[in-house]
Amino acid sequence: MNKQPATVSALIVWILISAVTGMGKDRVVVSPWAETAVTIDGHKTDWAGATLQTMKKLKIDYAFKNDGADLYVLFIFNDPRSLSSIEATGMTLYFAAENNKGADHGLRFTRKALTSQELIALFEKEGQQLTEERKQEILSKLGYTIFECSLVNKKGRVLTENVGRISSNPPSFNLAKTEGSIVYEFRVPLAKTEIQPAGIEAKPGTALKVGFSWGGVTPEMRDAIAKQSGYAGGQAGAEASSFEILTEDIGLEGGGGGSSFGSRMAQLQRTTQKHEFWVDVLLTARGS
């Protein structure tokens, strides 16, 4: 008699997978139930035994887990070329109901480097009251890295900034470099509330579409190429932007007005391709 619930649960999972198969040509990935919350630190410690899915073309591995509150995503780059310009564009996760062909909304996760003065200004802008002692503690370091998340629409336009700093179940991400790979981890709330708009409005036992989008040429990168090519006011100033540094890293050194904007843009587009793919995800319920 104890075997009957397990049989029924297996049957329910099979029925759900069969239903999801009709969602389209995208592969169906089962998100197993997480008995304990995943620590978002950019390490694979909490993913032991997880079944990794592989995007062979890009040499990427990924996996999902969920509990009653959050969807957890593991995303591993095994080839640095697949990163493209992710440092500039961030990673956007799009979500859509199982019967939708396009994205409902997305969350853009970005990493930003700030000076100690910029971090203090950010805290004060958000209304935090910093003591002089706390300010001196922040100023004791030259710079900081912060992780941000913004709610975007299906076209990538920002709807709500910094939803990751809303205290009510915020989305979060982190990354870490390991030998031969770069690991990204994400946590996304399942429930959408008046306080936290980042929820994907999904429940365990249901299915949804998840899209990954990163890379490509940003407007800032295009402006940097224009400056380096002698347009938009000529050469860039002494304080080169991070986007200008990126173009130098991939072999697009500044060359003044004699450089061809078109050829440099073409080269940049070849080396910073935009990547996007979708998967159908079945969120496993507890006990399934």
Please determine, for residue 239, whether its predicted confidence score (pLDDT) is greater than 50: no
Report the chain's C-alpha Rg in angstroms.
22
Q: Give the separation between CA 175 and CA 188, rounded to whole angstroms.
A: 15
Identify the burial level of 152 via C-beta atoms within 10 angstroms of its C-beta, where 0-12 means exposed, 13-18 middle and 19 or more buried: buried
DSSP helix/strand/coil, 86: helix
Task: Please give the pLDDT value at position 253.
Answer: 47
Confidence class for position 270, pLDDT limits 50, 70, 90: confident
DSSP helix/strand/coil, 179: coil
Residue 119 CB neighbours (<10 A): 19
If you ran DSSP here, which 8-state letter would residue 72 be given?
A: E
Please determine, for residue 152, whether its predicted confidence score (pLDDT) is greater than 90: yes
Residue ranges of the domains in the chain?
A: 3-106+163-215+274-283, 219-271
Higher per-residue confidence, 223 vs 235: 223
Q: Give the separation between CA 208 and CA 202, rounded to whole angstroms.
A: 7
Higher per-residue confidence, 82 vs 240: 82
Residue 279 CB neighbours (<10 A): 17
Please give the mean pLDDT across all residues of the chain: 82
Confidence class for position 235, pLDDT limits 50, 70, 90: very low
Measure CA of the first residue to CA of the last residue in the chain; give whole Å.
Answer: 17
Domain 3-106+163-215+274-283 CATH class label: mainly beta
Please determine, for residue 242, whether its predicted confidence score (pLDDT) is greater than 60: no
Cα 282 to Cα 38, 52, 84, 90, 124, distances in angstroms: 18, 15, 29, 25, 42
Specify whether the CB–CB gap between 275 and 195 falls below 8 A. no
